[in-house]
Amino acid sequence: MDPAPAQLPKSPTGIDGLDEITGGGLPTGRPTLVCGDAGCGKTLLAMEFLVRGATQFDEPGVFMAFEETTQELTRNVASLGFDLDDLVERRQLALDFVYIERSEIEETGEFDLEGLFVRLGYAIDTIGAKRVVLDTIESLFSGLPNPLILRAELRRLFRWLKDKGVTAIITGERGAGLLTRQGLEEYVSDCVILLDHRVENLISTRRLRVVKYRGSTHGTNEYPFLIDEHGLSVLPVTSLGLEHTASEERVSTGIPRLDAMLSGAGFYRGSSILVSGTAGTGKSSVAGHFAEAACRRGERVLYFAFEESPSQIQRNLRSVGIDLAPWVRQGLLEFKANRPTFTGLETHLATMHKTIHTFGPRIVILDPLNSFISATNEIEVKSMLMRLIDFLKLNQITGFFTSLTMGGSALDRTDAGISSLSDTWLLLFAVETGGERTRALSILKSRGMEHSNQNREFLITSHGVQLRDVYLGPGGVLTGSARLAREAEDTAERLARQQEIDLRRRELERQRALMDAQVAAIRAEFEAREAETLALIEREQGREAQLARERVEMAWSRKADAAPTVAEDPS
Amino acid sequence: MNESTTGSRDVPSGADPADALSEIWTLRLYVAGQTPKSITAFANLKTLCEEHLAGRYRIEVIDLLEQPQLAAGDQILAIPTLVRKLPEPVRKIIGDLSNTERVLIGLDLLPRAED
């Protein structure tokens, strides 16, 4: 409706997260309605707005209380670390308790609320207030007669507040079908914030929603918020966009062989890693390795445990050779153990946010993730995780989550579709063959990097997790002692084949020798015959020559005429 | 009527203890500027006091525009408000006092209805 100026002037509340959702705070110089059921934190939100305004933004404030006396208020918020007496003394804060008791008031004709205006105006002018809280102005309706006059006067009051240029919070109790009992939202139309305090599955969660913010964009979701010793914090603050930068930096998994499987370097910094597997497949051990490796690099690690106590985790990890105690002592590693049922999801998320903020880890481990999930809340869990992961990514924190796959369900099924939120997904599974269970690991996905697509046998030894090549052969994929047996069989077969070959080779040699010998014998015989034959030929030739000679001599003696007669044999 | 807006002011009258309430009544009328409602209220109050409390009442008129710091002390929200300071207990009556019967009830000069 409004032409919407580039940026509506806003007054920061100083409340963690609320300024992010509202894009900078509440509309400056306008009233904001904060409504919700009894006990949902309206008064605290309003008070924190004033206290932060006074202490952080140099904007003094007036708190006009209709329900609690100033002493009660001061005591109530002292538990949040707010020292109202001090602020009042330094003229940063004015408290005015408006006491209305219907039974003490008789209406006798026309009246207006000028007295309230005067009081408020006086308080504002005295300390130069920029912020005003009216808590809970609807008490007027129960305290004073004639709602018609009251409505008209409230309308006038809100206009008057605008004219005064103060940024105001009006609180109102939620009514049936309306945001407030008296429909204050009708008058305060610039910004409406709804607080909620719901109990689901016996667990209560506080939530905040910006119902309306005229002239400004704002996060429209319900955001969980916490009230703790530091005041209010609305979370998560960072799930509004998908703008995180992706890091090229890699972090080691703490298991050299696993690093090798992940293109040699491990996970990406700031990515989210899911390790899923059935019971007892070593998820926590992988987490332990990862944590230890990070601590060795001097990075801070926050370990959220939801099923085991810190000492139990440490003991168990010590048994596989991972000693985390020194890192805990050095303050690099911190455990936060809570039962999932301890608080609601949103409160868990909010607590995690807060802890992450204060501890400032590079790596956050959640073990196990899916203990949050009950029969009905999968969608909520997913949205919670999404926001957590977004938050981690935005802060370049590597998130490491374990997820227990229930027996009987498909291995690559994770509850609440967590898998689509994770960048790297390691699957641990048990292989049951030959009467034993062995563990195996495979990488189902790892966004943005080459990774091994082979299964590895996963051994948990007394000095940590080790990955072995599994047996891959014609007999299939084998692990454990089946792998060993199969490998032994293979060796035997290979040996046997080798011997066979050797045998054949020797046989061949022998035959070759035999053949050679035979050849030699035949050659010798042949040579003997050859010599004999040659000698015979020579002898025959000699005799022929002798005969011819004798014949010539005979002819000579007979005075034969010519030699040619030699040809005529006289016989 | 002009005097009603000049801040607090005593309007004493001759002591004439007629009934059990023999003490002097102290009535304080809060107004904010000289508005028609304030003027009506003061006039109504004056008439009523003369009629029922003649000689044993005192009226203070407090203009909050001049003395805003006094508003909190008597928990004033509505204008005009008449506060019966004395006799105890304190009673508050809001409005321009045009409904005489209700004013009298409010001041305990008439018994309250059972409901």
Instruction: Tell me, letter by letter, the H, E, C secondary structure of A143-179.
Output: HCCCHHHHHHHHHHHHHHHHHHCCEEEEEEECECCEC
Q: What is the CA radius of gyration of chain A?
A: 48
CA A19, CA A21: separation in Å to the nearest integer?
5
Cβ atoms within 10 Å, residue A467: 20
Give the model's pLDDT for residue A1: 43
Contacts of A144 in chain B (CB under 8 A): 77-78, 94
Contact (CB<8Å) A118/B71: yes
Cβ contacts of A444 within 8 Å, gap of 6 or more:
A412, A419, A425, A426, A427
Q: For B33-82, how does the pLDDT look when each residue is reduced to its tens digit (9 = 90+)? A: 888 888 999 999 999 888 888 888 889 999 999 998 888 888 888 899 99
CA A83, CA A87: separation in Å to the nearest integer?
7
Helical H runs in A404-470? none
Coil vs helix vs strand at A312? helix
Kind and range of the H or E element at A536?
helix A480-557
Under 8 Å CB pairs connecting chains A and B tally to 101
Q: Are strands A131-135 and A167-173 parallel, antiparallel or unpaired?
A: parallel
CA A290, CA A288: separation in Å to the nearest integer?
5
Contact (CB<8Å) B81/A111: yes
Contact (CB<8Å) A111/B30: no
- What CATH architecture does domain A10-234 belong to? 3-Layer(aba) Sandwich (3.40)
Tokens of A386: 């999404």
B3 pLDDT band, cuts 50/70/90, is very low
> Does residue B78 belong to the interface with chain A, where contact is any CB pair within 8 Å?
yes
Cβ contacts of A123 within 8 Å, gap of 6 or more:
A62, A64, A94, A96, A129
Minimal C-alpha gap between A245 and chain B (Å): 56
Coil vs helix vs strand at A196? strand
Q: Report the residue count for chain B.
A: 115
Contacts of A66 in chain B (CB under 8 A): none
Give me the residue spans of the domains in chain B.
Answer: 2-13+23-106
Q: Which candidate in A102, A111, A122, A126 is best for mutational testing of the B interface (most B CBs within 10 A)?
A: A111
In 3D, which of A67, A35, A62 has the Cα closest to residue A51?
A62
Amino acid symbol at A248: E
> Does residue B42 belong to the interface with chain A, where contact is any CB pair within 8 Å?
no
Give me the residue spans of the domains in chain A.
Answer: 10-234, 250-469, 473-546
CA B69, CA B64: separation in Å to the nearest integer?
8
> Does residue B109 belong to the interface with chain A, where contact is any CB pair within 8 Å?
no
The nearest alpha carbon in chain B to A125 belongs to B68
Q: Which candidate in A96, A105, A118 is best for mutational testing of the B interface (most B CBs within 10 A)?
A: A118
* Residue for token pair 């985790």: A313
> Does residue A116 belong to the interface with chain B, where contact is any CB pair within 8 Å?
yes
> Does residue B106 belong to the interface with chain A, where contact is any CB pair within 8 Å?
yes
The nearest alpha carbon in chain A to B107 belongs to A106
Give the model's pLDDT for residue A221: 79
In the CATH scheme, what is the code of domain B2-13+23-106?
Answer: 3.40.30.10
Check if the beta carbon of residue A364 is closer than 8 Å to that of residue A392: yes
Q: Report the residue count for chain A.
A: 571
CB burial readout A354-369, b (16+ within 10 A) else e:
bbbeeeebbbbbbbbb
Q: Which candidate in B70, B90, B94 is best for mutational testing of the A interface (most A CBs within 10 A)?
A: B94
Strands of the sheet containing A61-65, edge to edge, are A93-97, A61-65, A131-135, A167-173, A31-36, A191-200, A203-213, A222-228, A231-234
Contact (CB<8Å) B94/A113: no
Give the model's pLDDT for residue A412: 61
Minimal C-alpha gap between A420 and chain B (Å): 59
Give the model's pLDDT for residue A561: 64
Q: What is the CA radius of gyration of chain B?
A: 13
Tokens of A148: 């018609």
First to last CA, chain A: 159
Contacts of B81 in chain A (CB under 8 A): 111, 115
- pLDDT at residue B4 is higher than 60: no
Contact (CB<8Å) B37/A112: yes
B17 pLDDT band, cuts 50/70/90, is very low
CA A446, CA A419: separation in Å to the nearest integer?
11
Superfamily classification of domain A250-469? P-loop containing nucleotide triphosphate hydrolases (3.40.50.300)
Instruction: Tell me, letter by letter, the H, E, C secondary structure of A316-373.
Output: HHHHCCCCCHHHHHHCCEEEEECCHHHCCHHHHHHHHHHHHHHHCCCEEEEECHHHHC
First to last CA, chain B: 37
Coil vs helix vs strand at A395? coil
Q: For A367-419, how does the pLDDT look when each residue is reduced to its tens digit (9 = 90+)? A: 887 777 765 666 677 777 777 888 888 888 999 988 887 665 566 665 656 77
The nearest alpha carbon in chain B to A146 belongs to B95
Give the nearest partner residue to B68 out of A99, A109, A122, using CB atoms.
Answer: A122
> Does residue B104 belong to the interface with chain A, where contact is any CB pair within 8 Å?
no
Query: For chain B, percent helix, then strand, then coil, each to nearest 5?
Result: 30, 20, 50
CA A211, CA A34: separation in Å to the nearest integer?
10
- In DSSP notation, A229-240 reads TTEEEE--SSTT
A319 backbone dihedrals φ, ψ, rounded to 5°:
-65, -20
Check if the beta carbon of residue A75 is closer than 8 Å to that of residue A117: no
Distances (CA, A) of A563 to A545, A547, A550: 16, 15, 13
Q: For B102-114, how does the pLDDT look when each residue is reduced to its tens digit (9 = 90+)? A: 888 888 887 766 5
> Does residue B71 belong to the interface with chain A, where contact is any CB pair within 8 Å?
yes
Contacts of A112 in chain B (CB under 8 A): 37, 78-79
Average pLDDT over residues B4-24: 48
Tokens of A343: 């608080």
The nearest alpha carbon in chain B to A100 belongs to B75
> Does residue A141 belong to the interface with chain B, where contact is any CB pair within 8 Å?
no
Check if the beta carbon of residue A232 is closer than 8 Å to that of residue A221: no
Cβ contacts of A254 within 8 Å, gap of 6 or more:
A289, A290, A291, A292, A293, A294
Minimal C-alpha gap between B18 and chain A (Å): 25
Q: Which candidate in B44, B49, B76, B77 is best for mutational testing of the A interface (most A CBs within 10 A)?
A: B77
Contact (CB<8Å) B75/A100: yes
Contact (CB<8Å) A105/B97: no
Check if the beta carbon of residue A357 is closer than 8 Å to that of residue A389: no
Give the nearest partner residue to A115 out of B76, B82, B102, using CB atoms.
Answer: B76
Give the nearest partner residue to A108 out of B68, B75, B106, using CB atoms.
Answer: B106
Check if the beta carbon of residue A96 is closer than 8 Å to that of residue A88: no
Cβ contacts of A446 within 8 Å, gap of 6 or more:
A262, A267, A423, A424, A425
Amino acid symbol at A4: A
CA B69, CA B38: separation in Å to the nearest integer?
19
Q: Which residues of chain A have pLDDT under 50?
A: 1-5, 237-239, 571
Tokens of A35: 């409504």
Tokens of A396: 């370049």
